[in-house]
């Protein structure tokens, strides 16, 4: 081995000079130890706490989770997310169907009620006066639920116009229980279905935030 400066293979009994300004891409003899001047051979340099930090510097040992358990947890979480998304879609489709049916069943009573009080052309559009603000309030409630908020003013609009629609639908029917229920139930059913959909959306937002909070690292904890 060619060693022009004698740093790795110095002569027996010789000394090694080390210049701090002279840096090499390989370790020098001082990094490993020194030769004993009494002829006892090469003496390695003792390890210091910096070289061997010990278990405390590396932090507490993290217990390893078996691979089959990690796969089971991942499969369970994925399956739960798929079922949650499926239930959410089914709930949304059901609410839309109930709202459309409520509009169709309430349109004729509201139109007939306005037929004798407003011009005939306008009586065809008069139900929009009731269900227009109701629809806007429903969209505002859904938008707020997607953002994780609870819009009380939008709920007030939905409930007020649902009450108006229910009262107008039962105004010209006979005051028997079956007739009142058949005529006044569609707007109430639409509001109840919308309320359940909003609760499901808010529950999903709350679960997502709770999971994100648990996954976030705690500040101020040294590892």
- Which parts of the chain register pLDDT below 50? 1-2, 13-14, 16, 18, 23-24, 57, 210-211, 213, 215, 217-223
Inside any domain, residue 153: yes
pTM: 0.57
By three-state DSSP, how is residue 42 classified? strand
Inside any domain, residue 145: yes
Provide the domain count of the chain.
2
Residue 220 has a pLDDT of 46
Query: Is 2 in the same domain as 80?
Result: no
- Whether the Cβ atoms of residue 33 and residue 44 lie closer than 8 Å to each other: yes
Residue 136 has a pLDDT of 94
Inside any domain, residue 219: no
Query: Is 3 in the same domain as 94?
Result: no
Query: Is 83 in the same domain as 37?
Result: no
Query: 10 lies in which domain range?
Result: 1-53
Residue 201 has a pLDDT of 85
DSSP class of residue 28 equals -
Inside any domain, residue 156: yes
Query: Is 46 in the same domain as 83?
Result: no
Q: What whole-number distance in Å separates Cα of residue 223 and Cα of residue 220?
A: 10
- Whether the Cβ atoms of residue 104 and residue 111 lie closer than 8 Å to each other: no
Inside any domain, residue 217: no
Inside any domain, residue 221: no
- Residues composing the chain: 223
């Amino acid at each position: 081995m060619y060693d022009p400066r004698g740093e790795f293979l110095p002569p027996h009994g010789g000394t090694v000079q080390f210049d701090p300004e002279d840096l090499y891409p390989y370790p020098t003899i001082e990094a490993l130890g020194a030769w004993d001047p009494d002829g006892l051979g090469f003496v390695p340099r003792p390890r210091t706490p910096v070289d061997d930090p010990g278990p405390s510097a590396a932090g507490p040992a993290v217990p390893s989770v078996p691979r089959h358990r990690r796969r089971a947890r991942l499969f369970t979480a994925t399956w739960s997310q798929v079922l949650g998304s499926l239930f959410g879609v089914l709930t949304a489709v059901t609410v839309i169907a109930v709202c459309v049916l409520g509009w169709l069943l309430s349109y004729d009573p509201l139109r007939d009620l306005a037929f004798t009080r407003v011009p005939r052309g306008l009586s065809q559009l008069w139900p929009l006066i009731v269900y227009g603000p109701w629809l806007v309030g429903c969209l505002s409630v859904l938008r707020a639920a997607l953002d994780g908020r609870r819009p009380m003013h939008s709920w007030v609009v939905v409930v007020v116009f649902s009450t108006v629609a229910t009262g107008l639908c039962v105004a010209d029917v006979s005051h028997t229980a079956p007739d009142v229920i058949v005529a006044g139930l569609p707007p109430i059913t639409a509001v109840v279905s919308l309320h359940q959909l909003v609760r499901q959306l808010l529950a999903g937002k709350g679960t997502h935030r709770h999971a994100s909070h648990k996954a976030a690292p705690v500040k101020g904890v040294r590892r």
